[in-house]
Amino acid sequence: MSIQTLIDEQTLAKRIAALAKEIRADFGPNDPIHLVAVLKGAFMFLADLIREMDGPVTLDFIAVSSYGSRTTTSGEVRLTKDLDRTLEGRDVIIIEDIVDTGLTLTYLQDILRARDPKSLRTACLLSKPSRRKVDVKVEHIGFTIEDKFVIGYGLDFDERYRNVPFIGVLEGGS
Ligand code: IMP
Ligand code: MG
């Protein structure tokens, strides 16, 4: 099994720095922004993004899992780790690795919106629009990619490859 590079480290770093500015630009320079990162896939994206963000930023984590096969989402999403703090009155940005069918993000946006944030936006490193099943609003997208199963930079295949420092595609037999 070999890994073919789809998005290299330098390209990731450049786009993520721009995304950080984009996210801040919707608010004042001194407005607190509360990031809600979706575990586990978004951890590396979050770590790089947050270092490029100016002004007050706070963090929380949420985890979800979807039932179904290893490489597709069945649509049933389950909360496996909830937030530590309230979202009430905060400007919240969901930080997610990838939007595929859109079912996971739709679920997350629905449950987080119900907690009365002042505003709720979403930033996704990757988007596969050709796979969308539900029309989900994502304000900030890092890269739009083709319908390929990608790994690396936090994203896994069966919990492996999260440590690969770039976005890649697996090639050859498993
Ligand atoms: P959705 O609910 O179909 O939009 O799926 C979103 C979730 O499926 C993401 O948070 C990922 O965990 C996972 N996923 C979707 N596509 C990929 C991929 O190409 N590589 C790794 N994980 C993926
Ligand atoms: Mg995920």
Whether the predicted pLDDT of 173 surpasses 80: no
pLDDT tens digit sequence for 54-81: 999 999 999 998 765 555 556 688 999 9
Share of the chain above pLDDT 70, in %: 94
State which ligand 1 atom lies nearest to the alpha carbon of 106. Answer: 2
Whether the predicted pLDDT of 142 surpasses 90: yes
Q: What are the catalytic residues?
A: 100
Share of the chain above pLDDT 90, in %: 89
State which ligand 1 atom lies nearest to the alpha carbon of 156. Answer: 21
Mean pLDDT, rounded, for 3-30: 98
3-state secondary structure the chain: CEEEEEECHHHHHHHHHHHHHHHHHCCCCCCCEEEEEEECCCHHHHHHHHHCCCCCEEEEEEEEEECCCCCCCCCCEEEEECCCCCCCCCEEEEEEEEECCCHHHHHHHHHHHCCCCCEEEEEEEEECHHHCCCCCCCCEEEEECCCCCEEECCECECCECCCCCCEEEEECCC
Residues with C-beta less than 6 Å from any ligand 1 atom: 41, 66, 73, 96-105, 149-151, 155
Whether the predicted pLDDT of 13 surpasses 80: yes
- Which pTM value belongs to this model? 0.95
What's the pLDDT score for residue 75?
A: 66
CA distance 19 to 125: 9
pLDDT tens digit sequence for 77-135: 899 999 999 999 999 999 999 999 999 999 999 999 999 999 999 999 999 999 999 99
The residue to mutate among 61, 65, 100, 104, having the most atoms of ligand 1 within 8 angstroms of its beta carbon, is 100
Residue closest by Cα to atom 16 of ligand 1: 100
Q: How far is the CA of 56 from the centre of ligand 1 (A)?
A: 30
What's the pLDDT score for residue 25?
A: 98
